[in-house]
């Protein structure tokens, strides 16, 4: 998701956010867990500013370096001390592995040391770290999650497997239970139906576990989907390893959290044109959402056939949104899928992380009513996860455009 354009507009709201987060994150007591987690976690936040965005160097360096991480835009990053003061006990640190894969071995080793130094800074402030290997718009399209999973060239996956091993070794230096490694972020949305992911993830897991026997490793289903996580079984995943953690992302109902999201489509629905979907659904009406959405579609000046198809798909999505359920009850039903899977496989919920969630404001403006609704969604998801003993990591502070939780 392209968060860069949001950062500058949101920094001035950080102090308010910090105060609200401190009250909210600390107000919810940690739930008693049926078993100790190899990586204790409750309330966290994503910190993608440090190692997610990449840039190609104008010319190779003397050591052969060809790309680097762009680093945080000015004023976008909260320090480890600030995050700790807000009440977070861990961060999820996305690292774009394409940068590591593009550079020669000596450069890669130096970059892994940079990551370790940042991790050490968080740990020094009492904030644990999940290092998340997260591909994000690399300049070299050889290195994408889709290429690694779906490429007919096995050498591409092998290079990634070697990188996972090197990263696991670099992180194994830290005290037990302080750092975890997430093997891949939202692996290959576009190839979920062919589903080679569990087979490849098992290869990554075995290699990382051999390299770092005590490092907590975080596994996921294809695309970090809740439903794909529930497809993990003892036959396709190492569910019996007590040092394995599990993660999923939650942006449901997707039509609500991604309305206005640029040029994206899902199931033929133009997310960028969806308008006026309220939360909870009972706080608005279907006709208003349909009217404003149709007006947004008409502003695109599409060919007649394309406009008609877009309106039909949008109307179907809006109808589905209003009929799927009302607010918190819908969220509870969806998260019950995770807890039912955990119970069936004897996995304590203390080992499960909702690694991303947010009701995102994709539009350039935000009315008080829309802000209130987004905060209500954020709070309902937080409360539902807390009630089930599932840890969460918010995506991410500059995206909030105002106080995040009450």
For residue 288 the two structure tokens come to 């208003």
In percent, the amount of the chain with pLDDT more than 70 equals: 88
Supply the pTM of this predicted model: 0.89
90 and 24 co-located in one domain:
yes
Examine residue 59 and state whether it is found in any structural domain, yes or no. yes
- Supply φ then ψ for residue 355, to 5 degrees: -75, -20
For residue 45 the two structure tokens come to 């936040």
Examine residue 264 and state whether it is found in any structural domain, yes or no. no
pLDDT of residue 399: 59
333 and 313 co-located in one domain:
no
290 and 362 co-located in one domain:
no
8 Å CB contact between 118 and 341: no
Residue from 21, 170, 11 nearest 91 by CA: 21
Residue from 361, 368, 365, 355 nearest 398 by CA: 361
Q: How confident is the model at residue 35 (pLDDT cuts 50, 70, 90)?
A: low
346 and 302 co-located in one domain:
no
Examine residue 265 and state whether it is found in any structural domain, yes or no. no
Q: How confident is the model at residue 400 (pLDDT cuts 50, 70, 90)?
A: low
- Which of the listed residues 285, 307, 323 is the one where a domain comes to its end? 323
Q: What is the CATH number of the domain that holds 88?
A: 3.20.20.80
Tell the residue number behind the tokens 């070299």, with chain if given. 140
Residue from 134, 156, 159, 131 nearest 245 by CA: 131
- pLDDT digits over 42-57, tens only? 999 999 999 999 999 9
Examine residue 215 and state whether it is found in any structural domain, yes or no. yes
Residue 5 scores a pLDDT above 50: no
Mean pLDDT of 258-275: 84
In percent, the amount of the chain with pLDDT more than 90 equals: 70
Burial class (CB in 10 A: 0-12, 13-18, 19+), 105: exposed
The domain in which residue 336 lies consists of 4-258+327-399
8 Å CB contact between 357 and 405: no
378 and 288 co-located in one domain:
no
Residue 276 scores a pLDDT above 70: yes
Task: Return all residues near 368 (Cβ < 8 A) that are at least 6 apart.
Answer: none
188 three-class SS: coil
182 and 200 co-located in one domain:
yes
Residue 140 scores a pLDDT above 80: no
Q: How confident is the model at residue 138 (pLDDT cuts 50, 70, 90)?
A: low
340 and 298 co-located in one domain:
no
Rounded-to-integer distance, Cα 91 and Cα 297, Å: 39
8 Å CB contact between 261 and 271: yes
167 and 31 co-located in one domain:
yes
pLDDT of residue 305: 94
195 three-class SS: coil
20 and 139 co-located in one domain:
yes
Say which DSSP state 247 is in.
E
b/e code 126-142 from CB counts within 10 Å (16+ = b): ebbbbbbbbbbebeeee
200 and 295 co-located in one domain:
no
Domain count of the fold of the chain: 2
Mean pLDDT of 6-22: 37
- pLDDT digits over 240-250, tens only? 999 999 999 99
8 Å CB contact between 170 and 116: yes
108 and 162 co-located in one domain:
yes
Rounded-to-integer distance, Cα 191 and Cα 401, Å: 33
- Which of the listed residues 289, 305, 323 is the one where a domain comes to its end? 323
């Amino acid at each position: 998701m392209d968060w860069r354009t949001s950062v500058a507009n949101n920094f001035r709201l950080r102090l308010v956010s910090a105060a609200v987060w401190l009250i909210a994150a600390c107000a919810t007591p940690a739930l008693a867990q049926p078993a100790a987690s190899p990586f204790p976690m409750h309330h966290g936040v994503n910190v993608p500013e440090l190692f997610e965005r990449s840039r190609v160097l104008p010319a190779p360096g003397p050591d052969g370096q060809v790309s680097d991480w762009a680093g945080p835009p000015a004023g976008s990053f909260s320090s480890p001390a600030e995050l700790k003061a807000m009440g977070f006990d861990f961060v999820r640190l996305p690292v774009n592995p394409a940068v590591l894969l593009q550079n020669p071995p000596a450069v890669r080793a130096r970059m892994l040391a940079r990551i370790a130094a940042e991790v050490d800074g968080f740990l020094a402030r009492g904030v644990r770290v999940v290092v998340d290997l997260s591909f994000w718009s690399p300049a070299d399209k050889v290195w994408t999650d889709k290429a690694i999973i779906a490429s007919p060239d096995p050498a591409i996956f092998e290079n990634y497997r070697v990188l996972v091993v090197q990263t696991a070794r670099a992180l194994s230096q830290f005290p037990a239970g302080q750092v975890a490694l997430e093997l891949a972020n939202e692996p290959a949305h576009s190839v979920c139906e062919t589903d080679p992911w569990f087979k490849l993830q098992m290869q990554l897991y075995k290699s990382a576990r051999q390299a770092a026997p005590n490092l907590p490793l975080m596994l996921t289903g294809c695309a970090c989907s809740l439903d794909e996580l529930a497809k993990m079984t003892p036959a396709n995943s190492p569910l019996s390893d007590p040092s394995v953690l599990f993660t999923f992302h939650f942006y449901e109902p997707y039509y609500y959290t991604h309305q206005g999201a640029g040029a994206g489509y899902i199931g033929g629905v133009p997310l960028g044109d969806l308008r006026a979907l309220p939360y909870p659904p009972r706080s608005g009406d279907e006709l208003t959402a349909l009217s404003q959405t149709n007006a947004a579609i008409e502003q695109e000046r599409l060919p007649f056939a394309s406009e008609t198809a877009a309106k039909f798909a949008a109307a179907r999505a809006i109808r589905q949104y209003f009929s799927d359920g009302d607010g918190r009850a819908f969220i509870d039903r969806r998260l019950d899928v995770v807890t039912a899977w955990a119970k069936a496989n004897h996995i304590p919920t203390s080992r499960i992380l909702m690694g991303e969630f947010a009701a995102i404001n994709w539009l350039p403006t935000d009315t008080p009513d829309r802000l209130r609704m987004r905060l209500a969604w954020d709070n309902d998801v937080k409360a539902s996860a807390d009630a089930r003993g599932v840890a969460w990591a918010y995506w991410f502070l500059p995206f909030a455009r105002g106080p995040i939780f009450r």
